[in-house]
Amino acid sequence: MPPLKRCPSAVSILCTDDSWLSFYCTLLLRPVCALLIVVLIATTAGCQLFSVFGMGFADETVAQNGKAERSNKPPLPGLPNAQDATQIEIVFAQRPIGDTEMGDALWNEIDQVCNFDEDLRKNLSAHDIRAGHIGSTMPPVLEKLLGMTDSERQSQSESSQSLSGRRVLLRPGAETEIQTSLLVPERTVRFIENGETHEESFRNARCVVRVTSHRLQDGWVKLELVPEIHHGPQTLRRIATEGGWRLKTQQEIQPLYQLKISFDLNVGEMVAMTTNAAEENSLGRNFFTGVERHSHIQRLLVVRVANMGRLEAVYQEQPR
């Protein structure tokens, strides 16, 4: 085999005089050279190379009129919302148990009758749960609870803010989970069924309210809220869906359909849920109060219909 030589090229590599080896050396050289050129240009030009291809960065510096200015343009345009989606806002407010602002001062301003039948109202009351409908005009007491008044904003610093929340987009028939209590090693819950009281214990349990959206028409949506207890280990489980069965890693779920509540809401209207915190181990107390050193804290859940996409007719007959 002849000795190795150094082949003259832009990038020095070792090859032999054999023609087939020289061919493969040249073949391998081309992508290596191209990669090195790209790296050198990118190092020299910085982010402007990517700007040429339309992939700018939110904090890139752009030279205009000889001056360097910082551009705050997003890297990519946001995805448009689905026309049939409903945007809901989920907010929690908390106060010490027995606070008057969580009591009659608030609930005298909330419609607790709604479209609930008598059995459902009795069942909610027996399980220590309060729920009701709020119009688009927010009561002053609720404004204060949610920190929307000037005096409340001044009295609460960012470190002591007692609010937390998020915003969700739901397509018709879609659902989201609202966790109302922390995961605890063991939770004892008192149930009342057919006038009889019994208690059940759940390990590694947390309380969740499942919200499902059903679009009625433009500006109107039906929200269904079902309390659930999630407990046990996280394992791969079979979940029934409209399209069949699918696998999902989750805890065991005990839905409480006998306490399901539903509301027909217009844009801007709200649903409120909390507890009377009257009975130890009651369902409402498990769902809407803290645990351990926060056991004296009561939470109020507010779900608001913030916005809805407007559906346009595919065909609309023009007036003659």
Q: Label residue 199 by pLDDT band (50, 70, 90).
A: very high
Determine the Cα–Cα distance for residues 144 and 158; give it in Å rounded to an integer.
16
Residues pairing with 91 in the sheet:
165, 302
> Would you list the DSSP string of 210-227?
EEEEEEEETTEEEEEEEE
> According to the model, what pLDDT value does residue 160 have?
40
Q: What percent of the chain has pLDDT over 90?
A: 41
Residue 307 has pLDDT above 70, yes or no: yes
35 or 45: which leads in pLDDT: 35
Residue 63 has pLDDT above 50, yes or no: no
Tell me whether residue 89 is exposed, middle or buried, using C-beta atoms within 10 angstroms of its C-beta: 0 to 12, 13 to 18, 19 or more.
middle
133 or 238: which leads in pLDDT: 133
Residue 34 has pLDDT above 60, yes or no: yes
What are the structure tokens assigned to 320, written together? 């003659």
Average pLDDT score over residue span 125-137: 92
pLDDT in tens, 140-156: 989 888 887 655 445 54
Count, residues in the chain: 320
pLDDT in tens, 251-299: 999 999 999 999 999 999 999 999 987 788 999 999 999 887 788 899 9
Q: Residue 298: helix, strand or coil by DSSP?
A: strand
CA distances from 304 to 94, 111, 138, 174, 242 (A): 17, 15, 11, 16, 27
Determine the Cα–Cα distance for residues 319 and 237; give it in Å rounded to an integer.
56
Provide the residue ranges of all domains of the chain, joining segments of one domain with +: 5-70, 86-308
> According to the model, what pLDDT value does residue 98 have?
86
The Cβ of residue 129 has, within 10 Å, a number of other Cβ atoms equal to 22
